[in-house]
Amino acid sequence: MLDLEGTTLSHYHLQHSLGRGGMSEVYLATDQRSQQEVAIKLVNSGHMEYSERFQREVKTISALAHRHILPALDHGQHGSWHYLVMPYVKQGTLRERLAKSPLTLEEAGEVLEQVVDALQFAHDHGIIHRDIKPSNILMQDEHHAYLADFGLAKTLWAEGENEITQTGYVIGTPEYMAPELVEQPANTSSDIYALGILLYEMLTGRTPFKGSTPIATCWKQLREQPTSPSILNPAIPRPVERVILHALEKDPRWRFPSARALLQSYKRSLRAAEQPETILVSLAASDQLDIPPLHAVTPQRANGIFNSRKLIAVPAILLLLLSLSLSLGFYAASITAQKTPAAWSASVPLLGEKDIQRKQQSSHCTEDACGLECQCTASRGERHTAQTTKLSRRKLI
């Protein structure tokens, strides 16, 4: 705590601390000229690195006027302090909101849309944020979010040290840092990864990777697969889960090509999830998501596959109907022959939730990813046993 309550800086009278970040403290203050309440961010001007970040933040937000980017009202230096004056955002941070409970799919969609709007705008201007996380998202009210804290932002073409420096110092917040940052500088794709973590956290209430030290967390980002979000929150539908996991691909080439593409897929996944879960409908819905199977194809190849989908739709439906009738025949025959579900379990190797979890952790083949893969192979005229198993399991449940 800087303990500056009650003091006056320039014409700003400091009331009380609103929060503290990596390099600054933010106070609620009264602008004595306008009598408006404002938030004022104070950074020690004697600290070289913080001073640089402060200047960078002022420069960046002055260049990015957007309704979901928190603007600067004023800035300057007073004594040993740099100060940045911003509108006071009454409801605090998204982090404080998430401490109460995870968001619903719709609430998360609304925040995501506004943050993506802001981030895409920054990316389109060649600026990457590098510190997307709930404590840097401020909520004016339940329906208006601001992306804030551009203290780590940099231009795409800027040279500089990587996010994890030679001395092991981490620039950024490890829980939100993409795995490639251990050896590459940040780019738009690492911001998209952070958006994926944000979405995961909004819907489950926790981040997927957390170690006991910053480096341990980075190591998890690099080596571990996230627990499927729907295991933590069963209300998350399969198509939405696929969108989250796709944003969290370890290899940046497999992620969404832009923040906007992530948002569009999220919206489509919500629409797909609203449809009843019958075999035909779920196939059609996942086709609309335009997400390539996890780890299977590059975005370029995915485009080829999805552009040709109209050509393969008719034979795919015919094949599907054929496999459906075969499955039903098999089911009827087994019922007749063995009568009990236990006998079914013996004849069809079913996966329990624990097995699925273990399988996901060991191979990163999520049930959904596998489902999507099967749907793709099915649409090329092949049948996939895992999909058959999944369908069989649904019947038993």
Ligand X SMILES: Nc1ncnc2c1ncn2[C@@H]1O[C@H](COP(=O)(O)OP(=O)(O)O)[C@@H](O)[C@H]1O
Among the listed residues 61, 64, 85, 86, the single contact to ligand X using CB under 6 A: 86
For residue 298, the SS3 value is coil
Q: Give the interface segment with Mg ion, choosing from 18-26, 84-92, 122-130, 335-343 (CB under 5 A).
A: 18-26
23 contacts ligand X (rule: CB under 6 A)? yes
In the sheet that 74-78 helps form, which strands lie side by side, from edge to edge? 8-9, 12-20, 25-31, 37-44, 81-87, 74-78
Of 71 and 257, CB closest to ligand X: 71
d(CA 244, CA 174): 18
3-class secondary structure, 59 = helix
Query: Under rule CB under 6 A, how many of the chain's residues touch ligand X?
Result: 22
- In the list 10, 12, 14, 24, the residue contacting ligand X (rule: CB under 6 A) is 24
Which candidate in 131, 149, 191, 287 is catalytic? 131
- Partner from ligand X, Mg ion, none binding residue 69, C-beta < 5-8 Å depending on class: none
39 makes contact with ligand X (CB under 6 A) = yes
When CB distances are held under 5 to 8 angstroms depending on the partner's kind, the choice from Mg ion, ligand X, none that residue 88 binds is: ligand X
Among the listed residues 4, 21, 59, 71, the single contact to ligand X using CB under 6 A: 21
Q: How far from chain centre, in Å, is Cα 255?
A: 11
Q: How far is the CB of 151 from Mg ion (least distance, A)?
A: 7
Please enumerate in sequence order all residues whose Cβ is within 8 A of that of 304, keeping only pairs 6 or more positions apart, or say none. none
How does strand 74-78 pair with strand 137-141? unpaired
Q: Is 251 a catalytic residue?
A: no
Task: List the x/- string, 175-204, binding to ligand X by CB under 6 A.
Answer: ------------------------------
Nearer to ligand X, 92 or 211 (CB): 92
Q: What is the rounded CA–CA span in Å between residue 153 and residue 220? A: 24
- 25/237 Cα distance (integer angstroms): 40
In terms of DSSP bridges, do strands 144-147 and 25-31 run parallel, antiparallel, or are they unpaired?
Answer: unpaired
The residue number whose beta carbon is nearest to ligand X equals 21
Q: Which one of the spans 141-149, 227-235, 285-293, 386-394 is the region binding Mg ion (CB under 5 A)?
A: 141-149
Is the Cα torsion angle 216, 221, 223, 224 positive or negative in sign?
Answer: positive
Binding-site string for ligand X from residue 131 to residue 170, where x marks contact by CB under 6 A and - marks none: ----xx-x---------xx-x-------------------
DSSP calls for 151-188: TT-EETT-----SB-TTS-B-S-GGG--GGGGTS---H
State whether residue 302 is helix, strand or coil: helix
Tell me whether residue 152 or residue 244 sits nearer to ligand X (CB atom): 152
Name which of residues 56 to 75 contact ligand X (CB under 6 A).
Answer: 70
Choose the one of Mg ion, ligand X, none that binds residue 23, judging by a C-beta under 5 to 8 angstroms depending on kind. Answer: ligand X
Alpha-carbon distance values, 159 to 128, 156, 163, 186 (Å) = 13, 9, 12, 11
Tell me the closest approach of the beta carbon of residue 363 to ligand X, in angstroms. 38
C-alpha to C-alpha distances, 373 to 196, 272, 297, 303, nearest whole angstrom: 21, 17, 11, 15
Tell me which stretch binds ligand X (CB under 6 A): 12-20, 194-202, 229-237, 263-271: 12-20
Residue with smaller CB distance to Mg ion, 21 or 71? 21
Smallest separation (angstroms) from ligand X to the CB of 31: 13
Kindly tell me which residue out of 30, 120, 136, 225 binds Mg ion, with binding defined by CB under 5 A: 136
Nearest in space to 169 (alpha carbons), one of 128, 207, 130, 218:
218
Residue 86 touches which of ligand X, Mg ion, none (Cβ within 5-8 Å per kind): ligand X
CB atoms within 10 A of CB 135: 19
Q: Where on the chain is the footprint of ligand X (CB under 6 A)?
A: 18-24, 26, 39, 41, 70, 86, 88-89, 92-93, 135-136, 138, 148-149, 151
| Residues taking part in catalysis | 131
